[in-house]
Amino acid sequence: MQRQELSGFVSEKHIGLMLPAGTYIAVEGVIGVGKTSLARLLAHKTGARLVLEEDFENPFLPDFYRDPRRYALQVQLNFLLERHRQQSDLKQLSLFNHSIVSDYIFEKDRIFASLNLEQRELQLYNRVAELLETDVPSPDMVIYLQSSPERLLTNIRIRNIDYERSISLEYIRNLCELYSRFFFHWDKSSLLIVNATRMDFVNNIKHRRSLLKILQKMPAGTTYFNPET
């Protein structure tokens, strides 16, 4: 859990965001959509504690990208257990009314599991996940960043992480479809769906201001945000 100071945003101190004590916001979306960048921005603007998914500490992830069939179950269970550990810590923080911004939700692992695991493996995985889900808190709002598969793959190539180089456009397209289906049925919290294909909340002040303005209202239900160009 981290509290970030981002020098790239400090020139806009007047564009802040006040959250009620104990508010929990989670940012979600497919690989390369900018979840962590937005989570860092929101934590900076609100003074909330920042919780980042520990993707790069999964020892099976590089092997999975080389041989998905062989390592799918190991990588999914490792992610599931690590996310449960982090989310259990969040539950403790909520007792002290800390506001939290995270770059993932616990349930996201089910999306990847449904894509990567064979039927028997998925049944085993789901049994474990159902037991663990009872221990984790639900966010007050989820921000779901949507983008085109082509833009996502470009972002992945730009960040140039070794074990992500084998990710295919087809894999990204499948993930996008699964994410869309998942959030179509989301009802555990407020949901803000953001069209991030042409959005640049790091460098575009207009986009950033518009997004913060919406979040300040903490709208209930499902809200769609399509930033102006």
From 89, 103, 140, 200, active-site residue: 103
109 is catalytic: no
Kindly tell me the burial class for residue 91, based on how many C-beta atoms sit within 10 Å of its own C-beta (0-12, 13-18, 19 or more).
Answer: exposed
Write the DSSP string, 134-181.
TTSPPPSEEEEEE--HHHHHHHHHHHT-GGGTT--HHHHHHHHHHHHH
The β-bridge partners of 49 are 100
CA angle 78, 122, 126 (to 5 degrees): 75
How far is Cα 111 from Cα 127, in angstroms, rounded to an integer? 15
Q: Report yes or no: 58 and 107 within 8 Å, Cβ to Cβ.
A: no
Kindly tell me the burial class for residue 218, based on how many C-beta atoms sit within 10 Å of its own C-beta (0-12, 13-18, 19 or more).
Answer: middle
Helix-helix angle 119-133:68-94, to 10 degrees:
10
Catalytic residues: 103
